[in-house]
Chain A
Amino acid sequence: MMYAVALVAIMITMGLALTRAALGPTVFDRILALNMFGTKTVLLIAAIGFLTGRPDFLDLALVYALINFIGVIAVLRFAQHGHFGEIDDDDKGTDS
């Protein structure tokens, strides 16, 4: 029962984050919402693991936390520079 309450709250928060990601005027709003969505996904996986009595899901949550961080940094870098840093580091504004 308590896991179901937490699951519903997490899903509401994920919906709000998705709404901001769809609305967001700048790309940074979308990336911020994406980061929050990933954090909520980690919590969701952990709570589902407890709800169904399979704590092995926590390994997935752990991996997802790491992948989410790396993904956010990679998308951010791409949005800032327009490439992944192959050429050089200080040309901004390539995506006008």
Chain B
Amino acid sequence: MDLALDILSWICLVTGSIFAIIGGIGLLRLPDVFARMHGGGITDTLGAGLILIGLMFQAGLSLITVKLLMVLLFLLVTSPTATHAVARSALSHGVRPRVAGEEDGPSSL
């Protein structure tokens, strides 16, 4: 039982870490601010969620799990709100997303 919990915890923590690094690379490499939000979204949902769930498997049923759930809940509510606010603010400030077909956009697709 203990070993099963450890294995589940390892799986969740390692996949969460991989998703976090993928999101970080996406934030660094994607072409403009609207595309970079995808990278931020991966780390905020899958990365943070899987890492916190992996910690929950180690904590067992206790107050610590409740606190981890609350952290996860806050992150899941606040980070899409912040990303949405960034997108609206960038649009109203004149930043336009790069679309296919424009002269400086990606020509494939």
Partner-B contacts on A (CB < 8 A) = 2-3, 5-6, 8-10, 12-17, 19-20, 23, 26, 28-29, 31-33, 35-36, 39-40, 42-43, 46-47, 50, 55, 58-59, 61-62, 65-66, 68-69, 72-73, 76, 79-80, 92-93
Contacts and interface: CB of A to CB of B under 8 A. Distances in A.
B95 A39 contact: no
Interface of B is mostly: helix
A76 B27 CA distance: 18
A46 to B, nearest CB: 6
Contacts, number: 147
Given A15-B24, A35-B40, 7 more contacts: A5-B13, A6-B16, A6-B17, A9-B20, A33-B40, A46-B55, A79-B89
Interface of A is mostly: helix
B48 A36 contact: no
A40 to B, nearest CB: 7
> Which 6 interchain pairs have the tightest Cβ spacing?
A9-B17, A16-B24, A69-B78, A13-B24, A58-B67, A28-B90
Contacts of B40: 32-33, 35-36
A15 B85 CA distance: 24
Given A62-B70, A69-B78, A43 B48 contact: yes
Contacts of A14: 24
5 contacts: A3-B13, A58-B67, A69-B81, A72-B82, A79-B89
Contacts of A32: 27, 33, 36-37, 40, 83, 86
B17 A10 contact: yes
Nearest to A24: B33
